[in-house]
């Protein structure tokens, strides 16, 4: 699941989110301002499903999904989260 932080602030997701899964970084746990990050590289499908921080940031418009290089709008992200997120998680198992 690729997300982009469209704010000017770092967005806290989960201490397990890693900028680089091979290197410990002081910014682990955050999606930095303007950063695009594949959360599935450092979080399990269940972690993604249970992340209240992810859900809140999607609904607040801080994070948008990026699919095939295209950034979705906030309303599209909410629709994907509500309708398709469970399918995404199941397909990753």
Kindly report the pTM of this predicted structure: 0.80
**What whole-number distance in Å separates Cα of residue 92 and Cα of residue 89?**
5
User: For residue 8, how many other CB atoms are within 10 A of its CB?
Assistant: 7
Domains in the chain, number:
1
Domain that residue 88 falls in: 2-92
pLDDT score, position 13: 85
Ranges of the chain with pLDDT below 50: 89-90, 92-93
CB 68 within 8 A of CB 40: no
Note the pLDDT of residue 71.
93
User: 54: which residues sit within 8 A by CB, 6+ positions away?
Assistant: 3, 13, 14, 39, 48, 63
């Amino acid at each position: 699941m690729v997300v982009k932080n469209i704010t000017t602030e770092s967005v806290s997701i989960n201490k397990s989110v890693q900028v680089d899964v091979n290197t410990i970084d002081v910014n682990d746990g955050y999606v930095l301002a303007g950063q695009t990050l594949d959360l599935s590289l450092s979080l399990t499908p269940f972690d993604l499903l249970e992340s209240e921080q992810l859900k809140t940031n999607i609904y607040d418009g801080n994070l948008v999904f990026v699919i095939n290089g295209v950034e979705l709008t906030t309303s599209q992200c909410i629709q994907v989260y509500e309708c398709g997120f469970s399918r995404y998680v199941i397909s990753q198992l």
